[in-house]
């Protein structure tokens, strides 16, 4: 089959690789109908997350049609159209049983690579480094899905691929971020208007927020936040201070809740942001944490901070501010299996239509160009969608 | 999963059989003689005799070889969401052991209570040894010891303990311990401990996945661009 492979820093190529097959009894093989780029892919494409190997098939946000099932698969059958959360979960361990799906204990075959770095392990992910499992990704014609009964969700009739595809990762991540911190009537500030940030904004309203303020610098993304999510917006590159602007907008209190949907490659205008750029370029740290620090400073006393951005081992993390302001911090990789039924229901009712993220569509053969445009934010791209078949 | 290196030292009163009998005899004589004395001599003789008699009676006999050397043991522990008895039964099955050790070690039954282990080493070298099940606490522990002639005499043990709260299942500790503490062995342990720890971790994780889900996570037949390059080479 054809698949998009990572061959080194900023070196993506479409190659012919072996087809996947049923290996374990709960496996399912999907013919991928749609897959999409994710901002978190850029971190390992840029070389900031270790344990990639040349030839790895990438891509973790996808949907497709079931073409083969293992002997122990009961609820999913050949021909089903399904969407799959990006984290692979067994459904049986203590963590899955307690709705902490991305912490699944049984799906990372390379746990020994991750444990020394994290002091624990996450679930495996498709196409996202060997420390996170080493599984082949979904920018391919076919993909093997372990634990098909647990991780494949049937798509209700009447929904197009574009309406469902982002329920694989961007939507549940954003929804979880809002679920962590939104209380009825709250004012919520969201850093980042990429796929996850936009989904967090829309989800915040669905969960009862009265007001959502989005922070970014790209006009087309800020426009999407206004038009598709109903957010107020701040272009951080055109104001003197995001903190002062937020104070002004909230009567001097600050937002009740803040969501960081940016992660380790944040841009900023402060001296600290410049310092981060230099230090990261010299490989003296893994993260540029400007957005996260700003969120911690902006949030009102006693508020809740929700971290969705991907980080390594960050320095200059203002824990003293968190302590003195009495903040609550909640964070996780996405627990997609917890939210999927709810999200499909929102999509079916038209309450959450993520199809506006699919601004650009490419064939699989053209995927390297799609990633290049996505990385450089060309032509107003929000997400590049691939059609592998 | 937690890492635990068994560095606990236990101080025993060790003594040879001859020493213990001699001490007991001299001690008894000292007490009897002391009782015939008066004053300070009587007190000192009885006290010294009591000490020697106590040493003779209470000192532990010397260890029989081979003996596991806990200070050099490498152990890993994991919590498995199943009852202790079920896990204990599974670990007695050589086929399960072979599946768990995967490509590192092949395990087969070699008669009652004995297993044969086969390991492939880099450079197409191979070693084989047999181990005997020498201890089993019902539902709580198993210990295999290599038979004489093994290239690296050692013990492998697994212990099961109920987790608290009970919903977590069972805490399982897997360890290996050499049967010698000479300099060469110590150096070998230091050289290989990170490899051994990684192997024990992997085995325990595979065991947990197998009993909790019925399968072990695997990357076999995992599509990648490098397969073609490897085949061409």
What ipTM did this prediction achieve? 0.90
Residue A336 CA to residue A100 CA, distance in Å, equals 9
Residues paired with A144 in a beta bridge: A29
Pick left, alpha or beta for residue A107 (phi over 0 → left; psi -120 to 50 → alpha; otherwise beta). Answer: alpha
- Hey, CA dihedral for A247, A251, A252, A254, is it positive or negative? negative
Cβ neighbours of B139 (radius 10 Å): 15
Q: How far is CA B174 from the centre of its chain?
A: 8
> Would the CB atoms of B222 and A72 count as touching at under 8 Å?
no
Q: Which residues contact A282 (CB under 8 A, 6 or more apart)?
A: none
Distance in angstroms (rounded) separating the CA atoms of residues A247 and A294: 12
The count of other CB atoms within 10 Å of the CB of residue A117 is: 13
Q: What is the pLDDT of residue A365?
A: 98
**8 A C-beta contact, residue A131 and residue A110:** yes
Distance CA A295, CA B87 (A): 48
**Six-digit token string for B171:** 């805490």
Could you give the 3-state DSSP secondary structure of residue A336? helix
Q: Do B223 and A57 touch (CB under 8 A)?
A: yes
pLDDT the model gives residue A194: 95
DSSP A67-83: EEE-TT--S--TT-EEE
| Chain B residues with CB-CB distance to A25 below 8 A | 214-215
pTM, to two decimals: 0.84
Would the CB atoms of A135 and B219 count as touching at under 8 Å?
yes
pLDDT for the residue A241:
94
Nearest-CA neighbor of A143 among A267, A295, A35?
A35
> Are A93 and B81 inside 8 Å of each other by CB?
yes
Closest partner residue to B217 (CB to CB) among A54, A107, A112 is A107
B111 close contact with A: CB closer than 8 A: no
DSSP run (H or E) holding A200: helix A195-206
Cβ distance A136 to B224 less than 8 Å, yes or no, reads yes
Is residue A21 within 8 angstroms of chain B, CB to CB? yes
Nearest to B217 among A56, A106, A136 (CB): A106
pLDDT of residue B5: 38
Contacts of residue A62, Cβ cutoff 8 Å, sequence gap at least 6? A30, A32, A34, A35, A36, A83, A84, A126, A138, A139, A143, A165, A168
| Among chain B residues, CA nearest to A7 | B225
Q: How far is A94 from chain B (nearest CA, A)?
A: 7
Chain A, 208-237: which have a CB under 8 Å from a chain B CB?
A: none
For an interface test with A, give the residue of B205, B213, B216, B230 to mutate (most A CBs within 10 A): B213
Return the structure tokens found at B137.
Answer: 């606490």
pLDDT in tens, chain A (389 residues): 999 999 999 999 999 999 999 999 999 999 999 999 999 999 899 988 889 999 999 999 999 999 999 999 999 999 999 999 999 999 999 999 999 999 999 999 999 888 888 899 999 999 999 999 999 999 999 999 999 999 999 999 999 999 999 999 999 999 999 999 999 999 999 999 999 999 999 999 999 999 999 999 999 999 999 999 999 999 999 999 999 999 999 999 999 999 999 987 778 777 778 877 877 787 777 777 889 999 999 999 999 999 999 888 777 889 999 999 999 999 999 999 999 999 999 999 999 999 999 999 999 999 999 999 999 999 999 999 999 99
**A8 at interface of B, judged by CB pairs closer than 8 A:** no
Q: Is A272 exposed, middle or buried, given 0-12, 13-18 or 19+ CB atoms closer than 10 A?
A: middle
* Chain B environment of A144 (Cβ under 8 Å): 222
Interface size A-B, in CB pairs within 8 Å, comes to 106
Q: What is the rounded distance in angstroms from the CA atom of residue A296 to the CA atom of residue A314?
A: 14
CB distance A155 to A88 below 8 Å: no
Mutate to test the interface with A, among B74, B171, B196, B225 (most CBs of A within 10 A): B225
Q: Dihedral through CA A235, CA A240, CA A245, CA A246, nearest 10?
A: 80
DSSP state of B45: H
Q: Are strands A304-307 and A257-260 parallel, antiparallel or unpaired?
A: parallel
- Strand blocks (E) in A230-381: 232-235, 257-260, 304-307, 328-331, 360-363
- Taking contacts as CB-CB distances below 8 angstroms, the residues of chain A near B220 are 23
Query: Which stretches of chain B drop beneath a pLDDT of 50?
Result: 1-15, 62-66
8 Å CB contact of B201 and A72: no
Tell me what percent of chain A is helix, strand and coil, each rounded to the nearest 5: 35, 20, 45
CB of B123 within 8 Å of any CB in chain A? Answer: no
Q: Which of B41, B45, B14, B42 is nearest to B28 (CA)?
A: B45
Judged by CB atoms closer than 8 Å, whether chains meet at A124 and B217 is answered as yes
Smallest Cα distance from A117 to chain B, Å: 13
CA distance B127 to B115: 14
Quote the crossing angle between the two packed helices A290-298 and A242-249, to the nearest 10°: 30
């Amino acid at each position: 089959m054809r698949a998009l492979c990572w061959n080194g820093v900023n070196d993506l190529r479409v190659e012919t690789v072996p087809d996947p097959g049923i290996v374990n009894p709960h496996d399912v093989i999907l013919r991928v109908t749609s897959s999409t780029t994710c901002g978190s892919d850029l971190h390992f494409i840029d070389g900031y997350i270790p344990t990639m190997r040349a030839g790895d098939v990438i891509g973790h946000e996808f949907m497709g049609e079931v073409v083969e099932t293992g002997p122990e698969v009961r609820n999913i059958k050949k021909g089903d159209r399904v969407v799959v959360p990006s984290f692979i979960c067994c459904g049986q361990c203590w963590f899955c049983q307690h709705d902490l799906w991305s912490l699944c204990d049984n799906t990372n075959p390379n746990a020994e690579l991750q444990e020394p770095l994290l002091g624990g392990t996450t679930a495996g992910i498709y196409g996202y480094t060997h420390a996170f499992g080493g599984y082949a990704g979904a920018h391919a014609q076919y993909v093997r899905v372990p634990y098909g009964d647990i991780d494949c969700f049937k798509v209700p009739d009447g929904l197009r691929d574009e309406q469902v595809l982002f329920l694989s990762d961007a939507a549940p991540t954003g929804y979880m971020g809002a679920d962590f911190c939104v209380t009825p009537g709250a004012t919520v500030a969201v850093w980042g208007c990429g796929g996850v940030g936009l989904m967090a904004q829309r989800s915040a309203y669905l969960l009862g927020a009265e007001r959502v303020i989005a922070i970014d610098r790209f006009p087309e993304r800020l426009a999407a936040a206004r038009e598709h999510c109903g957010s107020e917006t701040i272009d951080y590159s055109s104001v003197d201070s995001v903190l002062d602007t937020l104070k002004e907008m909230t009567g001097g209190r600050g937002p009740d809740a803040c969501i960081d949907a940016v992660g380790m490659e944040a841009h900023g205008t402060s001296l600290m942001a410049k310092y981060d750029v230099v230090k990261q370029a010299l490989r003296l740290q893994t993260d540029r944490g400007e957005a996260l620090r700003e969120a911690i400073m902006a949030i009102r006393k006693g508020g809740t901070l929700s971290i969705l951005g991907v980080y390594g081992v960050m320095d200059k993390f203002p824990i003293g501010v968190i302590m003195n302001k009495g903040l609550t911090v909640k964070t996780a990789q996405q627990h997609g299996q917890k939210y999927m039924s709810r999200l499909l229901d929102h999509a079916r009712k038209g309450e959450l239509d993520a199809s506006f993220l699919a601004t650009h569509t490419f064939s699989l053969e053209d995927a390297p160009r799609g990633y290049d445009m996505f990385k450089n934010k060309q032509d107003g791209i929000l997400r590049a969608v691939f059609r592998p078949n | 999963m937690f890492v635990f290196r068994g560095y606990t030292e236990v101080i025993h009163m060790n003594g040879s059989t001859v020493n213990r009998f001699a001490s007991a005899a001299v001690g008894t004589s000292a007490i009897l003689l002391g009782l015939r004395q008066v004053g300070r001599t009587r007190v000192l003789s009885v006290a010294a005799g009591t000490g020697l008699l106590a040493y003779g009676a209470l000192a532990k006999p010397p260890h029989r070889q081979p003996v596991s050397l806990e200070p050099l043991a490498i152990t890993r522990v994991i919590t498995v969401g199943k009852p202790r008895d079920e896990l204990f039964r599974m670990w007695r099955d050589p086929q399960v052991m072979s599946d768990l050790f995967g490509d590192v070690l092949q395990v087969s039954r070699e008669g009652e209570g004995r297993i044969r282990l086969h390991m492939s080493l880099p450079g197409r070298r191979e070693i084989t040894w047999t181990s005997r099940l020498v201890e089993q606490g019902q539902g709580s522990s198993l210990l295999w010891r290599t038979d004489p002639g093994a290239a690296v005499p050692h013990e492998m043990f697994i212990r099961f303990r109920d987790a608290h709260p009970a919903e977590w299942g069972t805490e399982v500790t897997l360890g290996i311990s050499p049967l010698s503490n000479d300099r060469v062995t110590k150096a070998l342990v230091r050289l290989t401990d990170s490899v051994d720890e990684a192997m024990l971790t992997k085995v325990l994780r595979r065991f947990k996945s197998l009993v909790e889900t019925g399968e072990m996570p695997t990357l076999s037949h995992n599509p990648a661009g490098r397969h073609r390059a490897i085949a061409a080479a």
